[in-house]
Amino acid sequence: MTSHYDWRGGREAMMRFGLADAPVVVIAPPPFEEANRLRALMATVARGLARQGLAAVIPDLPGTGESLTDIAATRLADWRDAFAAANEAAGPVRLIASVRAGALFDGGQGAVGHWRLTPQDGSRLLRELVRTRIAGLREDGREASSATLTEIARNDGIELSGHWFTPALFGDLEEAAPLPAHPLRTVRLDGDAQPADHRLAAAPLWRRAEPGNDLELAQLVADDIADWMRTCLGG
């Protein structure tokens, strides 16, 4: 069901799953293109958590989804503040779970623990978006380098995968790293070279051009988050 949360910039929507008084997993989904690619997966994960007796919320961020906030006026600090407000509004006992670049704004007071799936920093996120833009230009018979596009983005702003990045937002993301979090469990997929606490045998759905779902991955994710919630709650 749809509920809302208030933050300093206004009111945003929040999808809610599971019982009202259950411990709640506050999900920070990835922004931009991967938000579309993983929307169905996120909802399946949330329903999987509800089946395990937990609740889950997926907040809309300012300037994304149904939000009335203008993306052109949005900064990373807005997402961080909005997510922190959503976290506090979600319920008394909460765990924060973020996916991909959701780790750039998945902070908040009072969570019993943090869980991340394949976190990435802001420069990596931009690199992928810029690379996709270069591929698109090449299809139109035009050439551009990432250095040129980055320069344009820093000075004038740029559209990447259908989203407008102001120089301010682009600059925020160039510098952004996952927020400090404790206790933290970092989960990655098999084959990912970076360090992780646990690895899931699954393919990176966020790379697939066609929006889709992966029920097995959703189950693995929901089970691991539920286990981590129990560990953090001391049982």
Partner 1 sequence: MLPEGSEEVEDAVRSVLRDVLGISQERVDAFAATTPLFGALPELDSMAVAGVLTELEDRLGIIIEDDEVDGEMLETFGALSRFAMAKALG
The residues of the shown chain that bind partner 1, judged by CB under 8 A, are 127-128, 131-132, 134-136, 138-139, 145-147, 191-195, 203-204, 207-210
Burial (CB < 10 A; 0-12, 13-18, 19+), residue 70, is: exposed
**Smallest gap from residue 193 Cβ to partner 1 (A):** 4
**Smallest gap from residue 162 Cβ to partner 1 (A):** 13
Nearer to partner 1, 55 or 129 (CB): 129
Structure tokens at 5: 């949360």
Nearer to partner 1, 50 or 153 (CB): 153
Nearer to partner 1, 1 or 209 (CB): 209
**Smallest gap from residue 172 Cβ to partner 1 (A):** 21
**Smallest gap from residue 135 Cβ to partner 1 (A):** 4
Tell me the Ramachandran region of residue 111: left when phi exceeds 0, alpha when psi lies from -120 to 50, beta otherwise.
beta
CB 17 within 8 A of CB 87: no
Unique residue bearing structure tokens 């937002």: 169
Maximum separation of any 2 CA atoms in the chain, in Å? 59
Question: For the CA atoms of 120, 122, 124, 127, what is the dihedral angle to 10 degrees?
Answer: 150
Count of residues for the chain? 235
**Smallest gap from residue 74 Cβ to partner 1 (A):** 25
Nearer to partner 1, 195 or 234 (CB): 195
Nearer to partner 1, 36 or 145 (CB): 145
C-alpha closest to that of 103 among 39, 187, 178:
178
Contacts for 168 with CB less than 8 Å, ≥ 6 apart: 75
